[in-house]
Amino acid sequence: MNILANDGLSNSGINALKDAGFNVITDKVEQANLIEYINANSVEVILVRSATQVRKDIIDQCSSLKIIGRGGVGMDNIDVDYARDKGILVINTPAASSQSVAELVMAHLFNISRFVYDSNRNMPTEGNTSFKLLKKKYAKGSELRGKTLGVIGFGRIGQFTAKYALGNGMNLVAFDPFLPEVTLSIDIADKKVDITIKTTDLETLLKNSDYISMHVPMPADKKPIISKPEFDLMKEGVKIVNAARGGVIDEDDLIEAVNNGKVGAVALDVFVGEPQPRLDVLSLQNTSLTPHIGAATTEAQDRIGTELAEKIIDFYQK
């Protein structure tokens, strides 16, 4: 039985599937050729990350498909309900990458607080001739301790991010329309500390946060969560991290907010139009950028591969 891991799969996942008797294909098939390839090779399972789209055309025209798997959390690139209505199992790995994404968020928070993103660009070219000027330029950084982090979306990744932030001495406000209260269990040395967080409304979060981190899926109506009215509510000089989905922040309004100083700095791991983000977003001042690598750690990919393999094997053994 053939499994197409079109956006790649960790060795741990491949080996588990091969040991169970499956043939795992890791060729990268272009989107336009997927239907033909799946049908020609009688592919029963297609595994994707964020790059490959599995829409109604594939679901309708590929009768061999039994499972669609997403290595990660969000399934915006899959017509999930339609597939399930057609009797196809749709699986993902919602917990496997939470820690990795949260650690990237924290890296960006430190980065934009101490101008590391800008210093790394300028030191190789100007460090030898303008060391003192650069030192002065980056001398007004901020500590995270004592600042308030607003977490928009308090699911698994938002909660992991909150744990790291609390461990760094930050205050926390969270917004989630589906979770009125969450108890976080934080491991410190050999002790476990439980902290209960009551979520608040979005307006309160926006008005009181020094930093904001996005952890929401793309809404069904495709409208941004953050646009000009939300920016207007924020503190002057607020710093924002988006490692959730491109489009949950209106990029035009973000550019304006950064350029007029409303947003002091922004860190982006996700973009509208991936894999070809807008050049005016990539060249925006006071911006720390990564190319959608939130879940891209060896540990997370091992967990994702293993979890997908276990779910596939379980399906065929029933």
Q: Kindly report, residue by residue over 53-106, the tens digit of the pLDDT.
A: 999 999 999 999 999 999 988 888 999 999 999 999 999 998 899 999 999 999
Q: What is the pLDDT of residue 218?
A: 87
Token pair for 218? 């793309």
Token pair for 91? 């699986």
Nearest to 57 by CA among 34, 81, 75, 25: 34
Q: What is the pLDDT of residue 53?
A: 96
Half-sphere exposure of 96 (CA within 13 A, CB side): 27
User: pLDDT exceeding 70 applies to what percent of the chain?
Assistant: 100
The position carrying tokens 């588990």 is 16
CATH of 2-94+298-317, one of 3.40.190.10, 1.20.120.1200, 3.40.50.720, 3.50.50.60: 3.40.50.720
What is the domain partition of the chain in residue ranges?
Answer: 2-94+298-317, 98-289
- Displacement of CA 126 from its chain's centroid (Å): 33
pLDDT at 318 over 80: no
Element containing residue 57 per DSSP (H, E): helix 56-61
Q: What is the pLDDT of residue 188?
A: 85
Cβ atoms 128, 122 nearer than 8 A: no
Q: Kindly report, residue by residue over 271-300, the tens digit of the pLDDT.
A: 999 989 999 999 999 999 999 999 999 999
Nearest to 266 by CA among 209, 213, 216, 309: 213
Q: What is the pLDDT of residue 189?
A: 84
Q: Which residues are catalytic?
A: 245, 274, 292
Do the domains 98-289 and 2-94+298-317 match in fold?
Answer: yes
Cα separation, 270 vs 289, in Å, equals 9
Q: Kindly report, residue by residue over 123-167, the tens digit of the pLDDT.
A: 999 999 999 999 999 999 999 999 999 999 999 999 999 999 999
Token pair for 247? 């489009």
Cα separation, 23 vs 1, in Å, equals 6
Token pair for 175? 């917004």
What integer best gives the mean pLDDT of the chain? 96
- Displacement of CA 186 from its chain's centroid (Å): 22
Q: Kindly report, residue by residue over 197-224, the tens digit of the pLDDT.
A: 999 999 999 999 999 999 998 888 889 9
pLDDT band at 15 (very low <50, low <70, confident <90, very high): very high
Q: How many CB atoms lie within 10 A of CB 159?
A: 22
pLDDT at 264 over 90: yes
Q: Kindly report, residue by residue over 104-124, the tens digit of the pLDDT.
A: 999 999 999 999 999 999 999
Q: What is the pLDDT of residue 286?
A: 96
Token pair for 284? 């925006």
98-289 folds as Rossmann fold (3.40.50)
Handedness of CA 80, 175, 265, 136 (dihedral sign): negative
Cα separation, 162 vs 105, in Å, equals 10
Cα separation, 204 vs 212, in Å, equals 12
Q: What is the pTM of this model?
A: 0.90
